């Protein structure tokens, strides 16, 4: 774990993001110290509908709160409905006019993803923004309900299917309203340290050689490859939808429940690279809402500024291979169980 944190710190410095430590704004005018509230100051999101996965706690909740306060109709997709309803009630207490709905979504179940989309479509709402935020971090080896390694299933495959099922709705909304659609896929600096082959296509479900952090890195690499390939396809099609990936920063949230003690120690020993939850949600909100990013697609953002990914994450052929592999996994869902 410490080795990973040192790699992450080195990668930040290699990219020249000294704002991580100093809070100094980058080219966008924002930096690591910027909060989600500050980055959306003066932006009117009324009339926009946003779906955010994992929007009931942590960075997802803060993102939901800020977007709702800016006037967006926020749909929270959450596995824990009790927590989601509590989150919604908390937002409504702060802003009586906020529009927030919650729908059941378990990303490690493809059937749940399909049910969520059916429930959303039944609401007969437009869809302007999709934020693929939910995830699981560095858990022991286990399989999803569909028999897929849990981190890959939750962080990538579930979101891959969700995005594909919602694309027609997003295209229709963008075409009929003339408002650019935006898809934000939450990745991580951990994409720099996956398995040596990047994506273990032939060993996704193999417990032999499984490493918690490498598997997480693999899933986060998949997030960026997915964003880039989807961006390419939408541009080729001429759709008015952008797709970008981000790293929110290191924030102590419930996603770290499997490694809480170790992460607390790391938080103390590497304090300079940690953010608060409002700061962690800033890049979510910036990429989802800020007018500076109109027409910008296929990019990766850290601290609200464009950043270079690993060479593997820029591999277009690997992205195409992952796209086909992901589709095949979904098509053969029953065979994995």
Cα 106 to its chain centre, rounded Å, is 15
d(CA 103, CA 236) in angstroms, rounded, equals: 32
- C-beta neighbour count of 319 within 10 angstroms: 23
Residue pair 241/182 in contact by the 8 Å Cβ criterion: yes
Q: At what angle do helices 316-331 and 158-177 cross, to 10 degrees?
A: 100
d(CA 45, CA 49) in angstroms, rounded, equals: 9
d(CA 337, CA 332) in angstroms, rounded, equals: 10
Both tokens assigned to 95 = 């802003």
d(CA 107, CA 156) in angstroms, rounded, equals: 9
Continuous segment of H or E residues that includes residue 243: strand 241-247
Both tokens assigned to 258 = 């499997």
d(CA 102, CA 85) in angstroms, rounded, equals: 7
Q: Which of 146, 154, 207 is nearest to 331 (CA)?
A: 146
Catalytic residue annotation: 210
Q: Which residues pair with 251 in a beta bridge?
A: 275
| Count of residues in the chain | 337
């Amino acid at each position: 774990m410490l080795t990973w944190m040192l790699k992450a710190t080195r990668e930040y410095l290699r990219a020249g993001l000294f704002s991580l430590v100093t809070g100094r704004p980058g080219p966008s005018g924002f930096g690591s110290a910027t909060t989600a509230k500050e980055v959306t100051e003066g932006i009117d999101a009324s009339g926009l509908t946003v779906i955010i996965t994992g929007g009931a706690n942590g960075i997802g909740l803060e993102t939901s709160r800020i977007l709702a306060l800016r006037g967006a109709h926020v749909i929270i997709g959450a596995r824990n409905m009790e927590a989601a309803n509590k989150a919604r009630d908390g937002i409504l207490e702060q802003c009586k006019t906020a529009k927030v709905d919650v729908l059941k979504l378990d990303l490690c179940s493809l059937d749940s993803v399909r049910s969520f989309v059916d429930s959303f479509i039944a609401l007969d709402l437009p869809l302007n923004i999709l934020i693929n935020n939910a995830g699981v971090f560095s858990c022991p080896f286990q399989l999803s309900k569909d028999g897929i390694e849990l981190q890959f299933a939750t962080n990538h495959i579930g979101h891959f299917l969700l995005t594909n099922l919602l694309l027609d709705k997003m295209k229709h909304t963008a075409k009929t309203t003339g408002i650019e659609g935006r898809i934000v896929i939450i990745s991580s600096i951990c994409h720099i340290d996956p398995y040596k082959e990047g994506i273990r296509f032939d060993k996704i479900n193999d417990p032999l050689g499984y490493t918690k952090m490498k598997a997480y890195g693999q899933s986060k690499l998949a997030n960026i490859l997915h964003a880039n390939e989807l961006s390419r396809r939408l541009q080729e099609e001429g759709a008015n939808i952008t797709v970008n990936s981000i790293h929110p920063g290191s924030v102590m949230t419930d996603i770290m429940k499997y490694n809480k003690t170790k992460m607390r120690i790391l938080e103390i020993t590497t304090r300079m690279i940690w953010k608060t939850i409002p700061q962690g949600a800033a890049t979510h909100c910036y990429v989802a809402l800020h007018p500076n990013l109109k027409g910008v697609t296929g990019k990766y953002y850290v601290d609200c500024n464009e950043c270079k990914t690993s060479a593997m994450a820029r591999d277009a052929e690997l992205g195409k291979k992952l796209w086909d592999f992901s589709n095949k996994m979904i098509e053969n869902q029953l065979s994995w169980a």
